[in-house]
Amino acid sequence: MSGTLPLVGAPNDRVDGRRKVTGSAPYAAEYPLAGLVSAVMITATIGKGRVTSIDTGDARRVPGVIAIMTHENAPRVDEAKAQDQTAQVLPLLQDDIVRYDRQPVAVAIADTFEHAVEAANRVIVHYAPDQPAISFERGERYIPKEIHGEPAAFRKGNPEAAIAASAARIDNMYTTPVYHHNPMEPHATTAAWSSDGTLTVYDATQGVGPDARTYAHHFGIPVSRVHVIAKFIGGGFGCKGTTWSHAVLAAMAAKLTGRPVRLVLTRPQMFSSVGFRPQTHQRIALGADRDGRLNGQIHTVTAQTSTFAEFVESSAVISQVLYPPANVAISHELVRLNTATPTFMRAPGESTGSFALESAMDELAVALALDPVELRLRNDVAADAHGLPFSSRSLRACLTQASERFDWRRRTPQPRSMRAGDQLVGLGMAAATYPTNRSAASALVRIASDGSVTVQSAGVDIGTGAYTAFSQVAADLLGVPLANVRMELGDNQYPTAPVAGGSQLTASVGSAVKLAALDARAKLLALVTADAASPLHGIAGDSIQTKNAGLYAQDGRGETYAAILTRHGLANIEGRADAKPGDEKKKYAMHAFGAHFVELHVDESLGTIQLQRIVSAFASGRIVNAKTATSQYYGGITFGIGMALLEQTHFDDRTARIMNANLSEYLVPTNADVPPIEVIIVPEEDTIVNEIGVKGIGEIGIVGVAAAIANAVYHATGIRVRDLPITPEKLLS
């Protein structure tokens, strides 16, 4: 309470917990606007071709139907995506072209959801199908120019020669399938146009600012005429990080009908047009000397994108960060397939790339007969592949602390050497890293004469605990109880904030909240030190602390914010700040690090894998709230379990149809699949990354989990599975 932030903040309960569990926290599909009507999307049943005709006669006879919106009557909009979006085109019923399975081809709008569903079921779409390309062998290959603004390839030294001259060599292919995000809350949009041409949208989005700019772009209106609100969203994982077709279609339907429209995706439609993690084929080649020191490393990636837009899964980037040797090459190649456009999914790049790299490191450890933890310790580095020193790097501490807690020493290295009854026992590990990102963000801190504090920022809490974390930053810096802070988020009319993605929201908005709180404090200090009626009159400002909801000198003299504001006849005082990155990314490599240790049982007769225990350590700079942070790590690790063992989207090779667009055949981990998980927070102070020293925690949890599990499966069985997910069939064949 002295105006500073603890390195590991209090594990406070969520400030919004009661509203969430009682159902009073509003989500995008829960705003009861007057005259609200329902829209239901109708999606293509072919993977490529044209719509030849749409028969809406039967649908329009359903009671309560207001309109069937097709490419023939849809409002004209700009289909090209706004500049801050990654893809170039959003299918918005502007033509008859079908580019992928489940592309929206019409929208049924009716007075009730049930009538809209009935009408949607009665719309008959006729197609002229073409042969889609759905496999890497059939799609057009090309080299992308860049990855989200960074070079798509990098080369240093001569890795081929270095590997060829090495005592130990590994050169293997690793593959990962398509994954879909599947947050609990489906995508949903409630859109209303007012008579003055202003668009109001309650949207399931990770970023109200970028979302508003996208609507403004498609409808050709100033962003000042778009109001986007996202007070609560039920998970995102990246699919809600950009604005997709259905959201703009809801606003188009509202324009067409002159009514407020609610559009909610069905669970099968969660597999249609809202992005996914692309399939990757990755080659990793490593060369090391007899002591295990890496001499050369090659990481090449082939990933898929769509036929009409580009997204690069940046899987090889991690090879520039974890243990880059003197000779290293990374590259990315894309294949255009007839699918929707892939997108960011929790730790995009690092999650898939770490499966390849950290599996290969385990294979190298086997080739060297060296302990895999020791191999990683011997290849710890002080700078990334570009020679930038790390602002802080606690990989060694993560490896050491997690391996001790896990009791890694009991592992006998020989595969198939450990058993529990009739089960094979496997112990495996892998390292993790994720970049520290931030973007420009602003915040407002208002201290009222009743002592209450209101903090505003446009940032969205995607379920991670942002309301709680930012409340804690303000409460700690102003020395007020957490309960006195009212945190307001998720409205693009609040001070601007970036998308809650790339694990950047706490770093970005938290820094702005800190600076805004300091601005409010400076304004109060200016008042009291110049005020003869204040007990702090004439005292040097830098010796005054914020505590007990006021300003106090070392000797105890001071007064509350309420007393200061009341005496000056002020209803409140406001602090404002714009926080933005400086040039630190040019001078430093900034990343969080971690390590996972996994114990599992394999039943050889069934090929089944039962996880027993996971111990993971993470160093992510300052942790604002130890409880919500630990939940993020648990969530990331659980996501990694799904990636390793259960999840994959199946496409029919002939038609490009997704064959398991539902949660009974797209398997996600349930409680029975998740073992006890122990998370160690390694305290880490980093004064370079940003004003509050946080590195981000939402994504690093998944990084390396799939490799740690695959490595444990190898240790249990002697079978190296390089193709995710690790299913019983792959262990039995």
Known catalytic residues are 699
* φ and ψ at residue 399, rounded to 5 degrees: -60, -45
Q: How far does the chain reach from its first CA to its final CA, in angstroms?
A: 61
Closest Cα partner for 139 from 339, 273, 300?
339
Q: Give min distance, CB of 241 to ligand MOS, in A.
A: 4
Task: Report the SS3 class of residue 406.
Answer: helix
Q: How far is CA 427 from CA 57, 105, 419, 597, 646, in A?
A: 62, 50, 11, 7, 19
Distance CA 576, CA 519 (A): 6
Name the token pair of 3: 């105006």
Q: What one-letter code names the amino acid at 537?
A: H
Strand 419-420 with 327-337, pairing: unpaired
Q: Give min distance, CB of 230 to ligand MOS, in A.
A: 14
Radius of gyration of the chain (CA): 27
Strand 677-681 with 608-619, pairing: parallel
Q: Give min distance, CB of 344 to ligand MOS, in A.
A: 4
Q: Rounded to 5 degrees, what angle do the CA atoms 646, 264, 307 make?
A: 65
Q: Give min distance, CB of 280 to ligand MOS, in A.
A: 15
Q: Give min distance, CB of 726 to ligand MOS, in A.
A: 23
- Identify any residues that bridge with 336 across adjacent strands, giving them in sequence order: 140, 305
* φ and ψ at residue 556, rounded to 5 degrees: 100, -15
Q: CB 660: neighbour CB atoms within 10 A? A: 17
DSSP state of 27: -
Binding site residues, ligand MOS, CB under 6 A? 206, 236-238, 241, 344-346, 348, 501-502
User: What secondary structure, in 3-state letters, does 296-347 show?
Assistant: EEEEEEEEEEECCCCCCCCHHHHHHCCCCCCEEEEEEEEEEECCCCCCCCCC
For ligand MOS, the closer CB: 139 or 236: 236
For ligand MOS, the closer CB: 154 or 237: 237
For ligand MOS, the closer CB: 186 or 501: 501
Residues near 491 by Cβ (< 8 Å), separated by ≥ 6? Answer: 208, 227, 228, 229, 230, 231, 458
Q: Give min distance, CB of 357 to ligand MOS, in A.
A: 19
For ligand MOS, the closer CB: 38 or 182: 182
Q: Is the dihedral of CA 725, 723, 399, 695 positive or negative?
A: negative
* φ and ψ at residue 298, rounded to 5 degrees: -125, 130
For ligand MOS, the closer CB: 394 or 439: 439
Q: Give min distance, CB of 398 to ligand MOS, in A.
A: 22
Residues near 569 by Cβ (< 8 Å), separated by ≥ 6? Answer: none
The answer to whether 54 and 42 are in contact (CB under 8 A) is no
Q: Give min distance, CB of 352 to ligand MOS, in A.
A: 12
Q: CB 172: neighbour CB atoms within 10 A? A: 15
Instruction: Give residue 476's Cα distance to chain centre.
Output: 27
For ligand MOS, the closer CB: 379 or 439: 439
Q: Give min distance, CB of 687 to ligand MOS, in A.
A: 25
For ligand MOS, the closer CB: 345 or 549: 345
Q: Give min distance, CB of 550 to ligand MOS, in A.
A: 39
The answer to whether 272 and 181 are in contact (CB under 8 A) is no
Number of Cα atoms under 13 Å in the Cβ half of residue 473: 31
Q: Give min distance, CB of 460 to ligand MOS, in A.
A: 10
For ligand MOS, the closer CB: 318 or 480: 318
For ligand MOS, the closer CB: 154 or 344: 344
For ligand MOS, the closer CB: 139 or 463: 463
DSSP state of 6: -
Buried b (16+ CB within 10 A) or exposed e, 431-441: bbbbbbbbbeb
For ligand MOS, the closer CB: 498 or 550: 498
Question: By beta-carbon distance, which residue lies closest to ligand MOS?
Answer: 238
Distance CA 214, CA 360 (A): 41
